[in-house]
Amino acid sequence: MSGGQFQDNAVRAFPERLGTIMAELREQFMEREEEIGGALLAMLAGEHVLFIGPPGTAKSQMAKAMCERLRGAYFYYYLLTRFTSPEEVFGPLSLSSLQRDEFRRRTEGYLPQANIAFLDEIFKANSSILNSLLTILNERRFHNGSEVVKVPILSVYGASNELPNEEEGLAALYDRFLYRFFIANVQDEGNFLKVLTDTGGTVSGTTMEVEDVDRIKEGARSVTVDEEVLQAYLSLRKHFRSQNVYVSDRRWNKTLTVLRTAAAAMGRSKVDPTFLPLLQHMLWDRPEQKEGLRDMLIDLASSGGVDLRRLQASSEELLSLLAKAKQSSVSDAQFPRPVCCYDCGSTFMSAKELCRHGESFPNHVYMDPYAKDAKGLNPSYRKFELPELMHVLENVRGWKVTCLRGGAEHRLYERELQELRAAYQRVRETHELERGELRDRLDQNIWLSQRDRRDILARQDHRLESMSDIERSLKEVEAELKG
């Protein structure tokens, strides 16, 4: 028995079955890879999903198909309008109970008895149904007359053309949807033709039991969370605070439950950083936050706990220290040819002489030493002020103009370089080791989309590239110290 896996055979068979269910649904609904994965995971975790997008994008069919994968589950669909009455959603009043002076609804075939519900135009919900709806979403309870009953709802999938306005008083309802997806029309032409010629016949496929959902939920309770993931949560929280985005503790908590459920459904006992991209559909509030959030999650998932930025910053700092140290001391090495002052005609054979002259005559300008190659004096050739001339001599001509102060300072830089080199080696080794492991983990994680996998690996490659940048900086430092 390998450590960290559930022993229960039934639970162990889940990843494969869930993978098959997702593959079948993705075949049926083109270009809905992330939505299908999210909706399925939300169903297992007991969360609600909001689909925002134009009508006719197969949102309700998708929800229905999802429900059909749960054997014996009851699917409830309703298109809300501003005038929808409680009877239409929660069931008609029972006449026999009215005769006994009781106020009860007959809920068979209505929302209080559904396992999966699809509520179209959810934000049209009016005040007469909003409270009962919120109670069902939050507490999974329904107040039927004087009785409070538990409802079997797993997930409510809500759909809307657009996000609710802030003044509509629907913030509480919006907040109940942990998962949020924008859904567009099918983009690819081939996929569009498939949708066009689809006869809409029901596709039979792989199923699971409602009880399986309970078992996964139960398993999720004992799933632990990697220290790296917790650190990532702290970074995210800090990020949102700095952006003045409010995420409630309750919401944070729910997201972690979803990650735990995702791990449990895969037969894992631990949430590792490859689960972090799943948060991209849960933590944004306004659409403009979506891209930045995803980018951050991809970064966190690929970082492997190594802070490359710090290493890069240190090597850059060392380089700039060296540059400053060099600037402060002027070399007395001989120039290959003299430099001439335009104002007084004096000539200089080293940077030291040049600087001494510059201190005495700060307003004098100098001629380009190579300008003399041209016949006679060309009135248009450039004259340089001293700092500019020094820069040209050093960087364009490659002459020796500045030098490092010797002795103690030199040794200090050398020691710092050695330390940086050692840190760099360590990081490089972990990174290469991790790349193989990361790829395996990504391949095994059934909840990630192709796009997530691809982007995480690309980010990892990019990090390897920035390591080459660090390597280059370190080499430069080395050359400076030798030179």
Least distance between Zn ion and beta carbon 371 (Å): 16
Structure tokens at 8: 């229960």
The piece of 14-22, 257-265, 310-318, 336-344 that touches Zn ion (CB under 5 A) is 336-344
Q: Which is nearer to Zn ion, 75 or 361 (CB)?
A: 361
* Window of 5-13, 162-170, 187-195, 341-349 that interacts with Zn ion by CB under 5 A: 341-349
Minimum CB distance to Zn ion smaller for 271 or for 367:
367
Q: Reduced to 3 states, what is the DSSP secondary structure of residue 148?
A: strand
Shortest reach from residue 347's CB to Zn ion, in Å: 10
Q: Say if CB 355 and CB 402 are below 8 A apart.
A: no
Closer residue to Zn ion (CB): 163 or 355: 355
Is 467:431 a contact under the CB 8 Å cutoff? yes
Tell the smallest beta-carbon distance from residue 348 to Zn ion (Å).
Answer: 9
- Toward Zn ion, which CB reaches closer, 234 or 344? 344
* Least distance in angstroms from the C-beta of 341 to Zn ion: 3
Please choose, out of 192-200, 281-289, 325-333, 364-372, the segment that lies near Zn ion by the rule CB under 5 A: 364-372
CA atoms of 220 and 47, how far apart (whole Å): 14
Q: Which of 272, 387, 380, 289 is nearest to 330 (CA)?
A: 387
Q: Give yes or no for residue 341 binding Zn ion (CB under 5 A).
A: yes
Q: Determine if 344 is a binding residue for Zn ion (CB under 5 A).
A: yes
Q: How far apart are CA 162 and CA 170, in angstroms?
A: 13
Helix (H) or strand (E) holding 120: strand 116-120
Residue 209 backbone phi and psi in degrees, to 5: -90, 155
**Closer of 356 and 451 to Zn ion (Cβ):** 356
| Cβ 274 vs Cβ 300: under 8 Å | no
Q: Which is nearer to Zn ion, 69 or 357 (CB)?
A: 357
Q: Is 200 helix (H, G, I), strand (E, B) or coil?
A: coil
Reference 219, options 260, 182, 185; nearest CA is 260
Shortest distance, CB of residue 421 to Zn ion, whole angstroms? Answer: 46
Cβ proximity to Zn ion: between 22 and 330 the closer is 330
Name the residue nearer to Zn ion (CB basis): 387 or 407: 387
Instruction: Kindly provide the b/e burial profile for residues 432-444, where b requires at least 16 CB atoms within 10 angstroms of the residue's own CB.
Output: eebbeebeebbee
Alpha-carbon distance of 456 to 95, in angstroms, equals: 60
- Least distance from Zn ion to the Cβ atom of residue 241, Å: 59
383 belongs to the binding site for Zn ion (CB under 5 A): no
Query: For residue 221, which phi and psi values (nearest 5 degrees)?
Result: -60, -30
- Minimum distance from residue 346 beta carbon to Zn ion (Å): 5
Q: Is 41 a binder of Zn ion (CB under 5 A)?
A: no
Report in angstroms how near the CB of residue 360 gets to Zn ion at its nearest: 8
The region of 36-44, 189-197, 225-233, 339-347 touching Zn ion under the rule CB under 5 A is: 339-347
In this structure, the strands spanning 270-271 and 334-340 are unpaired
- Cα–Cα distance between 354 and 386 in angstroms, integer? 8
Give the SS3 label for residue 162. coil
Given the complex with Zn ion, which of 196 and 344 has the nearer CB atom?
A: 344
- Of 146-154, 198-206, 316-324, 343-351, which part binds Zn ion (CB under 5 A)? 343-351
Stretch that binds Zn ion, among 29-37, 111-119, 157-165, 357-365 (CB under 5 A): 357-365
Site size for Zn ion (CB under 5 A): 6
Read off the tokens for 262: 């995702």
CB 330 to Zn ion: min, Å? 17
Report if residue 307 touches Zn ion, rule: CB under 5 A. no
- Tell me which of 26, 251, 337, 364 binds Zn ion, using CB under 5 A: 364
CA–CA separation, 111 and 86 (whole Å) = 10
Q: Which long-range contacts (CB under 8 A, 24 or more apart) does 434-440 make?
A: 434/304, 434/306, 435/460, 435/464, 438/274, 438/302, 438/304
Least distance (Å) between residue 325 CB and Zn ion: 29
Toward Zn ion, which CB reaches closer, 229 or 354?
354
* Shorter beta-carbon distance to Zn ion: residue 353 or 455: 353
Region near Zn ion per CB under 5 A, out of 120-128, 151-159, 358-366, 428-436:
358-366
DSSP class per residue in 336-391:
EEEEEBTTT--EEEEHHHHHHHHHH-TT--EE-GGGGGSSS--TTS-EE-HHHHHH
The CB-of-365 to Zn ion minimum distance in angstroms stands at 8
Q: Does 343 bind Zn ion (CB under 5 A)?
A: yes
| Minimum distance, C-beta of residue 359 to Zn ion, in the bound complex (Å) | 12
Which residues contact Zn ion (rule: CB under 5 A)? 341, 343-344, 346, 361, 364
